[in-house]
Structure 1
Amino acid sequence: MTKTISDLLEAAAERSVPVVRGITDERLADPTPCAEYDVRALADHLFQVVVNFQALAAKQDADFGVAPDYVGRGDWRAAFADETAALVRAWAAPGAEEGTSGAMGLPAATVGGMVLGDLTVHAWDLARATGQEYSPDPVVVGEVLASFRAIAPMGRKMGAFGAEFELSEGGAGASDLDRLLALTGRDPGWQRP
């Protein structure tokens, strides 16, 4: 990566945290581009990712087996911002990008790319689902696209990615964001029903 994972996470957070802050209670039951999640469930999932990947940065195990329940607890939007800042700090710690991370047994740089991708792509999902504007940092999108191209087969096998969405005209003229979304199984043109 041309920048550190923490630098990229900080850039991603600058654009994703406002999306989470902009989710109104009236939108929590709305559908998202991730068919298995409504807005509440996807926000809970993203919150869980942000918390668990702090542990992975510290080479500790993370627990994704517990159903997340963050949304609706106190000022959960501010808590998400706080946890995202903690995620950036965790990946800035000496050694965070080195070795392997937790029980996943994957290179730390790969794990860092995974959380960067989740923060970026799920912010797009939530923005689309709640009618908000969202424009991720182009450098972040480029890094995630390269990282996700490498892990897409594993992501599909694990059920984290859907089948690649086929872009019209083979993707000619598509933006890197559209290519990233398509790679993860999303229709870049998805609109709220």
Structure 2
Amino acid sequence: MTPFENRVEAGRLLAQSLDDYADRQDVIVLALPRGGVPLGLELVRVLKAPLDLMLVRKLGVPGHEELAMGAIASGVRVLNDDVVRGCGITDEALEEVARAEQAELERRAKRYRGDKPWPKLQDRCVILVDDGIATGATMEVAVRAVRAQKPASIVLAVPVAPPSSLHRFAPLVDRIECLMTPESFWAIGAWYQDFSQLNDDQVIAMMREAEELAGEGR
């Protein structure tokens, strides 16, 4: 399997596979920042749907932050009990990490969206997009946060993920669109030639471009 050139190419390919959702009034695309936003922008170019954000933060093990012991979104927390137990994480340590990540969630919400009200998701078709799935902890909390708002359907859209991680989402979403499912999977970035990290200003610029596209479509 050939790696994607970058997130833009991955987004374009993903959009092609989801073109049956184009021009539907009930569709909204929610991207997980930062990495999911370039893909979300490519989806809305094709689907002519609005783009917003699903803010989620990984709860990293203290001292080994790359290892997820869970994730949080607005009002939702998912924990990996095996990691919590295996690493001997105390309740106090867990809450300390959760508080720090909640503060970062709130910072990003203010930075990226200002005072704009959050979209209503009830009875809508929600397409959740990110640049890939590794363990699935972050995406799972995103799915549960969306499901709590009673959408008509949830589509999970990613360019790459291991089959084992996708399997956990089968009962949680209505459709999974994944372009590559390599059995040998060690990191999302390995499936991109360019996996440069994005900054806040880039995210804000992309969200502004998505708003302009939505305005042109009205």
Q: TM-score, normalised by structure 1?
A: 0.29
Q: Which has the larger Rg?
A: 2
Structure with the larger strand share: 2
Q: TM-score, normalised by structure 2?
A: 0.27
